[in-house]
């Protein structure tokens, strides 16, 4: 055989076997399975993040690519899977159904309904992992996202498209802030998505009950991967929530997404990584744990009108241990987000609820989006509170205080009082503006401290409707409106002050 014949025969052989070989790459065999992880041989062409299907019908996601095998995390039960089970590629990344039909429903991390209300009719699906929008398609944050919580809207304002972290120890009211914010979106044309990661199923059910009670389910979606669901579901749940949110954002809608909480998400990812035998780094987290959250939170943005003009505001939640914000995951997420709302144990137990530590809370971009009426009336609030905190510490043991110090202390105490807010009572802009105006201008100095909270609420209720609608619709507090508030406050005080002496 001459040289060219030899080449031809090799080529012919290669071509004949080509089909066989590609088919072989499309299916593989399980070598080992356990703890929700399968090691598969033969899926040479599988790509990172691809969805594969086992012969039992269970799906898995390729999360580890090695020279001879791939590591797959199972999205369902491993019952019936054993060494030698067949696995086939699907050629697509893990995705979730998206569409208006999802609104009002509770779904799992794969977008399947778990609320017993029947199937969800959607026509579109979106991959759970997607590259975040680029610089060109983004617009600066310049529209407010009212939380309805006075302390936040006045001092840590959040804009549409912003990522604001809610951070604090366990049981300090983190979830409550997120829920109140969702309740306040009623009638604001906002779609709210609550992603529950690693929580108890009963907690999620209770939360759904609260949303239902306040008619917030009409514009909300709950994505739930409970503690019973296992690490893979907990790992993909926030990405699934983001994909559902992006669908609405691409339709030009405004979306609010809450990730409750990313500490548990990081723990789920650490579990998977350790089971996949990746080398552990600081606090045993894998080296790419920063990327885990940055690629998620980067997907929140506000789009320019050419790209639909929608927005996705993210409220990730992080739980700290004994107030330690310098731990690995908290510092990571603090550096990714555009600010944080820091909740403090001491304040919570002292009855200051929501327990927001104003000194450590910050919003890096929301100031530009703050409603004018609030900006104007809350002007000195932060500084006055900072001064109050300092004086409070210094004057703790001294009884002989000069008049100025006494006044500043009394003023600070009243400011702290108006910032207390019960659960599920979000405040509209006009009410916030009126209360702030009265408090920051020292108009409450003659109201007994223990009556301040009740007084301001009832006073706000007594104001004429025309004034409220004017503040609410224009978003500003004109000089005449301010004068009207002053007058009304004087009259109202005269009416009720007799009862104070009694």
Ligand X SMILES: Nc1ncnc2c1ncn2[C@@H]1O[C@H](COP(=O)(O)OP(=O)(O)OP(=O)(O)O)[C@@H](O)[C@H]1O
Binding residues for ligand X, rule: CB under 6 A, are 168, 170-176, 319, 353-354, 421-423
Residue 258 CA to residue 346 CA, distance in Å, equals 25
For residue 355, the minimal CB distance to ligand X (Å) is: 8
Which of 278, 232, 235 shows the shortest CA–CA distance to 37? Answer: 232
Q: Rounded to the nearest whole angstrom, what is the least distance from the CB of residue 197 to ligand X in the complex?
A: 11
Is residue 298 classed as helix, strand or coil in its secondary structure?
Answer: coil
Comparing CB distances to ligand X, the nearer of 172 and 363 is 172
Residue 165 tokens, joined: 């972290």
C-alpha dist (Å) from residue 266 to 75, 203, 333, 484 = 18, 20, 11, 52
> Of 78 and 153, which has the nearer Cβ to ligand X?
153
| Chain centroid, CA 346 distance in Å | 24
Smaller CB separation from ligand X, 105 or 353? 353
What does DSSP say about strands 254-260 and 311-319: parallel, antiparallel, or unpaired?
A: parallel
CB of 23 to ligand X, least distance (A): 49
Distance CA 496, CA 317 (A): 42
Q: Which is nearer to ligand X, 273 or 320 (CB)?
A: 320
- Residue whose CB is less far from ligand X, 152 or 297: 152
DSSP string for residues in 144-212: B---S-HHHHHHS--BTT-B-EEEESTTSSHHHHHHHHHHTTTTTTEEEEEEEES--HHHHHHHHHHHH
**Closest distance to ligand X from the beta carbon of 421 (Å):** 6
Q: Summarize the annotated binding site as residue ranges.
A: 168-175
Q: Closest separation between CB of residue 109 and ligand X, Å?
A: 19
- Least distance between ligand X and beta carbon 172 (Å): 5
Contacts 24+ apart (CB under 8 A), 41-49: 41/68, 41/69, 43/70, 43/87, 43/89, 45/89, 46/70, 46/89, 49/93, 49/94, 49/129
Could you list the residues known to form a binding site for ATP, using ranges: 168-175
- Identify the burial level of 339 via C-beta atoms within 10 angstroms of its C-beta, where 0-12 means exposed, 13-18 middle and 19 or more buried: buried
Cis ω for the linkage preceding 153 (within 30 of 0): no
Q: How far is the CB of 199 from ligand X (least distance, A)?
A: 7
Whole-number Å distance between alpha carbons of 316 and 73: 25
Q: Are 339 and 362 in contact (CB under 8 A)?
A: yes
Helix (H, G, I), strand (E, B) or coil at 105: coil
Nearest residue (CB) to ligand X, 353 versus 414: 353
Q: In angstroms, what is the C-alpha Rg of the chain?
A: 28
Per the document, the length of the chain is 502
Cα 445 from Cα 219, distance rounded (Å): 41
Q: Which is nearer to ligand X, 311 or 357 (CB)?
A: 357
Active site residues: 364
């Amino acid at each position: 055989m001459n040289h060219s014949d030899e080449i031809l025969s090799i080529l012919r052989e290669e071509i004949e076997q080509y089909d066989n070989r590609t088919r072989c790459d499309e299916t593989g065999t399980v070598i080992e399975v356990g703890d929700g992880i399968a090691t598969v041989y033969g899926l040479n062409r599988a790509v990172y993040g691809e969805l594969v299907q086992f012969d039992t019908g269970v799906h898995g996601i390729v999360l580890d690519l090695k020279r001879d095998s791939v590591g797959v995390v199972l999205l369902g039960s491993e019952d019936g899977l054993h060494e030698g089970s067949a696995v086939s590629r699907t050629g697509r990344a893990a995705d979730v159904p998206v569409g208006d039909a999802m609104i009002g429903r509770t779904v799992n991390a794969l977008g399947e309904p778990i609320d017993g209300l029947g199937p969800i009719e959607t026509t579109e699906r979106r991959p759970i992992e997607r590259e975040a929008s680029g610089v060109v398609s983004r617009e600066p944050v310049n529209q407010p996202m009212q939380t309805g919580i006075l302390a936040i809207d006045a001092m840590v304002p959040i804009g549409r498209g912003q990522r604001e972290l809610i951070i604090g120890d366990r049981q300090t009211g983190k979830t409550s802030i997120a829920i109140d914010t969702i309740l306040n979106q009623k009638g604001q044309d906002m779609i709210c998505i609550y992603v529950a990661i690693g929580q108890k199923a009963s907690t999620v059910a209770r939360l759904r009950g609260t949303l239902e009670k306040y008619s917030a389910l009409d514009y909300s979606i709950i994505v739930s991967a409970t503690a019973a669901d296992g690490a893979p579901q907990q790992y993909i749940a926030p990405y699934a929530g983001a994909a559902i949110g992006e669908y609405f954002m691409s339709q030009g809608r405004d979306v609010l997404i809450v990730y409750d909480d990313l500490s548990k998400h990081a723990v789920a990812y650490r579990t998977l990584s350790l089971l996949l035998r990746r080398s552990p780094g600081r606090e045993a987290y894998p080296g790419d744990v920063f990327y885990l959250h940055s690629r998620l939170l980067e997907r929140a943005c506000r789009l320019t009108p050419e790209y639909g003009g929608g927005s996705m505001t993210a409220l990730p939640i992080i739980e700290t241990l004994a107030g330690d914000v310098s731990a690995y995951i908290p510092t990571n997420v603090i550096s990714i987000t555009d600010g944080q709302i820091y909740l403090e144990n001491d304040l919570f137990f002292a009855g200051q609820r929501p327990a927001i530590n104003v000194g450590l809370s910050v919003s890096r971009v929301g100031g530009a989006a703050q409603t004018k009426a609030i900006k104007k009336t809350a002007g000195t609030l932060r500084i006055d509170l900072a001064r109050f905190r300092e004086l409070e510490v210094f004057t703790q043991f001294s009884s002989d205080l000069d008049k100025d110090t006494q006044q500043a202390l009394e003023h600070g105490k009243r400011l702290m009082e108006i910032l207390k807010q019960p659960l599920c009572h979000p405040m509209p802009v006009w009410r916030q503006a009126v209360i702030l105006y009265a408090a920051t201008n020292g108009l409450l100095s003659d109201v007994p401290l223990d009556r301040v909270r009740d007084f301001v609420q009832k006073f706000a209720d007594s104001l004429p409707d025309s004034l409220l609608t004017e503040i609410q619709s224009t978003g500003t507090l004109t000089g005449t409106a301010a004068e009207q508030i002053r007058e009304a406050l004087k009259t109202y005080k005269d009416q009720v002050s007799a009862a104070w002496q009694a």
